[in-house]
Chains A and B, each alone.
Chain A
Amino acid sequence: MKATYLALEARRALRNPRALFFTVVFPVVLFLIEASLFGNSKVPGAPVTYTAYLMASFGAYGGFMACLNGGARTAVERSQGWQRQLRLTPLTPRAYLLGKAAVAQAVALPPILLIALVAGLFEGVHLSGSEWALTIVGTWLACIPFSVLGLLVGQISTAENMQVYTSGLMILLGFLGGILFPVTMFPNWLANIAKILPSYWLADIGHGPTLGYEQLTTAIIVLAAWTVVLAFAVARRYQRDSARN
């Protein structure tokens, strides 16, 4: 029964060419531009090239944007009253929200894979098999809290202002978390704030296989904590939102 539901959800996600462009093509293009700027020079004090470093950064960026947008898109069907219609079926809130999170996660995989593919085939990034696997799978799993964050945005925002929330979070989490900008260039106090953010640890998990993890256990704990707290907020919000808005 849920298979038909999930299948349509997945098909719907693939049907929006503009969203697909921004989630898949855009991060790849950004990566290619940045990679051409820094080329194959080594990252100072590290055993990797800038291209390999940027591959992990933009994989994380692409994954987290896809998750955030994928989850936040529920604002549209919520604004349209479709969530109310679904509440009139045996579909439980848990199944609905898990389904949405699953679809957001699924959409996050293509940009991560594509950047890795482009990096490996055209940008001369050479990693061992386990390094590839850890980078790709690790980044993808570390994106889970962002799917849940997207769902929360979807439950709070409207179809009209959803974009404001997602771009705000993109800037906050992308830059402050050190995905788009190295934290090493931050003043100390800002670097400490960055370490509260899930994006900081997402970047650490992405860079870990090649640069070495900063603190893998901390990364997992922080990301899991964000997931739990955000999931709790989503569940509460969904429960309270059954009335018309």
Chain B
Amino acid sequence: MLCTMDNTAQYRRQRDARLEPDRGAVSAGAAVSLVGLHKSYADIHAVDGVDLVIAPGEVVALLGPNGAGKSTTVDMLLGLTKPDTGDVRVFGQTANEAVANGTVGAMLQEGSLLEDATVGETIAMIASLHRNPMPVAEAMRRAGIEDLAKRRCTKLSGGQKQRVRFAVALVCDPHLLVLDEPTSAMDVGTRREFWQSMKEFTDAGKTVLFATHYLDEAEEFADRVVMMRAGRVIADGSVAEVRAAASGRTLTAQVPGASDAEMRALPGVSGVEMRGTRVELDCADSDAAVRALIAGYPQAHDIEIKAVGLEEAFLALTSEPDGSIR
């Protein structure tokens, strides 16, 4: 145990020493800066004016239905697609420079692995192409696939494949990791394991941008959620902010003797539903509503305040013709 740690610890010290000097430079600029991105295919505006700044160390979820422009945005960020107009910067570099310098690593949506190579060979080959790769063994350890080194890539389960691709993305020792729907082929258990191994990366202060369909994933793993629809960013904020922006919180309580009109008059309440003594208040500001409720109606009991899930917020925002909440 100790001897295996020795190598890793030594590597970490080297890596940290390497990271230290440019940390100042990094904090001056953004990890990702997308300005006025537009991209059309034929007459479809896949991306129709995206501005996005991500600070170093942020873990950002890019959320949206199919065709929202997530993958096109990711492709432009990685230099795989050229924007029609607009500017892409990754730690101050162009997309292509960032790729060439190993500043950015990526797990692409539909990218599969070489069928006729082993896991170890694949990762070693990718590592050999990069200028400052991390040791192959370290990348495999972090992705949790040390035991698969000699396995042919065809003989992997869906979850194992994704973890191998994670190691491929990781081996260039990037500052920014971009993941396009990383867990779409995984079952619930495998998804959990995957995000567990991701945590080590984000705990080291690295930046992550991941596109996803799964709202619970965004809720659980992202610091910040950026929602896209029809090629535009329609919401951007912390998970709590985005959720609140969509429809706030629901307050339910038993309030004997209260009338519908009285409840409507409470501050921060936007809608009321009453069933006998039980009231259900839709709140834009549940804090103000609960304070006023307790002050004015001391008999109120069984008070519950429930946040609207990201899913409801997401549906509300993405289905309205103009759901802009910025």
Taking beta carbons and an 8 Å cutoff, which residues of A are in contact with B? 1-5, 8, 11-12, 15-16, 76-77, 80-82, 84-91, 242-244
Q: Contacts A12-B117, A242-B81, A244-B110 hold; do A85 and B168 have CB atoms under 8 A apart?
A: yes
**Which residues of A have CB within 8 Å of B124?**
4, 8
Chain A: minimal CB distance from B300 (Å)? 56
Is there an interface contact between B108 and A91, defined as CB atoms closer than 8 Å? Answer: no
The 3 closest A-B pairs by CB, nearest first: A4-B128, A81-B111, A89-B129
- Bound-state CA distance A184–B113 (Å) is 48
Is there an interface contact between A8 and B117, defined as CB atoms closer than 8 Å? Answer: yes
User: Would you call B167 an interface residue if the criterion is a C-beta within 8 Å of the partner chain's C-beta atoms?
Assistant: no
Output the nearest chain A residue to B127 by Cβ-Cβ distance: A4
Instruction: Pick the contact of B114: A3, A4, A12, A242 (CB < 8 A).
Output: A12
**Which residues of B have CB within 8 Å of A88?**
78, 80, 99, 104-106, 108, 169
**Which residues of B have CB within 8 Å of A243?**
75, 80-81
- Bound-state CA distance A90–B113 (Å) is 18
Output the nearest chain A residue to B128 by Cβ-Cβ distance: A4
- Bound-state CA distance A76–B112 (Å) is 11
Output the nearest chain A residue to B108 by Cβ-Cβ distance: A84
**Which residues of B have CB within 8 Å of A84?**
80, 108, 111
Q: Contacts A5-B129, A87-B80 hold; do A16 and B99 have CB atoms under 8 A apart?
A: no
Chain B: minimal CB distance from A37 (Å)? 37
Is there an interface contact between B108 and A81, defined as CB atoms closer than 8 Å? Answer: yes
- Bound-state CA distance A209–B169 (Å) is 52
Output the nearest chain A residue to B98 by Cβ-Cβ distance: A88
Give the total of B residues in contact with A, Cβ under 8 Å: 34
- Bound-state CA distance A229–B79 (Å) is 27
Chain B: minimal CB distance from A94 (Å)? 14
Chain B: minimal CB distance from A100 (Å)? 13
Output the nearest chain B residue to A95 by Cβ-Cβ distance: B129
**Which residues of B have CB within 8 Å of A91?**
129
User: Would you call B84 an interface residue if the criterion is a C-beta within 8 Å of the partner chain's C-beta atoms?
Assistant: no
**Which residues of B have CB within 8 Å of A77?**
114
Q: How many A-B residue pairs have CB under 8 A?
A: 79
Output the nearest chain A residue to B165 by Cβ-Cβ distance: A85
User: Would you call B226 an interface residue if the criterion is a C-beta within 8 Å of the partner chain's C-beta atoms?
Assistant: no
Is there an interface contact between A82 and B114, defined as CB atoms closer than 8 Å? Answer: yes
Is there an interface contact between A82 and B129, defined as CB atoms closer than 8 Å? Answer: no
Is there an interface contact between B111 and A5, defined as CB atoms closer than 8 Å? Answer: no
User: Would you call B266 an interface residue if the criterion is a C-beta within 8 Å of the partner chain's C-beta atoms?
Assistant: no
Listed by A's residue number, 16 A-B pairs whose Cβ atoms lie within 8 Å are: A4-B124, A8-B121, A8-B125, A11-B117, A77-B114, A81-B111, A82-B113, A82-B114, A85-B108, A85-B126, A88-B99, A88-B104, A88-B106, A89-B126, A89-B172, A90-B129
Chain A: minimal CB distance from B265 (Å)? 55
**Which residues of B have CB within 8 Å of A12?**
114, 116-117
Is there an interface contact between B130 and A89, defined as CB atoms closer than 8 Å? Answer: yes
- Bound-state CA distance A85–B80 (Å) is 10
Output the nearest chain A residue to B46 by Cβ-Cβ distance: A243
- Bound-state CA distance A77–B125 (Å) is 15
**Which residues of A have CB within 8 Å of B131?**
90
**Which residues of A have CB within 8 Å of B106?**
88
Output the nearest chain B residue to A7 by Cβ-Cβ distance: B125
Is there an interface contact between A1 and B129, defined as CB atoms closer than 8 Å? Answer: yes
Is there an interface contact between A80 and B111, defined as CB atoms closer than 8 Å? Answer: yes
User: Would you call B100 an interface residue if the criterion is a C-beta within 8 Å of the partner chain's C-beta atoms?
Assistant: yes
- Bound-state CA distance A1–B128 (Å) is 5
User: Would you call B102 an interface residue if the criterion is a C-beta within 8 Å of the partner chain's C-beta atoms?
Assistant: yes
**Which residues of A have CB within 8 Å of B110?**
81, 244
- Bound-state CA distance A54–B7 (Å) is 60
**Which residues of A have CB within 8 Å of B102?**
90
Output the nearest chain B residue to A82 by Cβ-Cβ distance: B114
Chain B: minimal CB distance from A176 (Å)? 33
Output the nearest chain A residue to B174 by Cβ-Cβ distance: A88
User: Would you call B115 an interface residue if the criterion is a C-beta within 8 Å of the partner chain's C-beta atoms?
Assistant: yes
User: Would you call B71 an interface residue if the criterion is a C-beta within 8 Å of the partner chain's C-beta atoms?
Assistant: yes
Count chain A CB atoms within 10 A of each CB in B99, B108, B124, B169 and give the residue with the most: B108
Interface mask (B75-103 → A, CB under 8 Å = 1, otherwise 0) = 10011110000000000000000011110
- Bound-state CA distance A11–B106 (Å) is 26
- Bound-state CA distance A76–B121 (Å) is 18
Instruction: Pick the contact of B115: A5, A8, A80 (CB < 8 A).
Output: A80
- Please provide the chain B residues from 165 to 199 with a CB less than 8 Å away from any CB of chain A in the complex: 168-169, 172
Interface mask (B43-83 → A, CB under 8 Å = 1, otherwise 0) = 00000000000000000000000000001000100111100
Q: Beyond the given A81-B108, A84-B108, A85-B168, could you list 17 further A-B residue pairs with CB under 8 A, ordered by the A residue number?
A: A1-B128, A3-B128, A5-B125, A5-B128, A15-B116, A80-B112, A80-B115, A81-B110, A82-B112, A82-B114, A84-B80, A84-B111, A88-B78, A88-B106, A89-B129, A90-B101, A244-B109
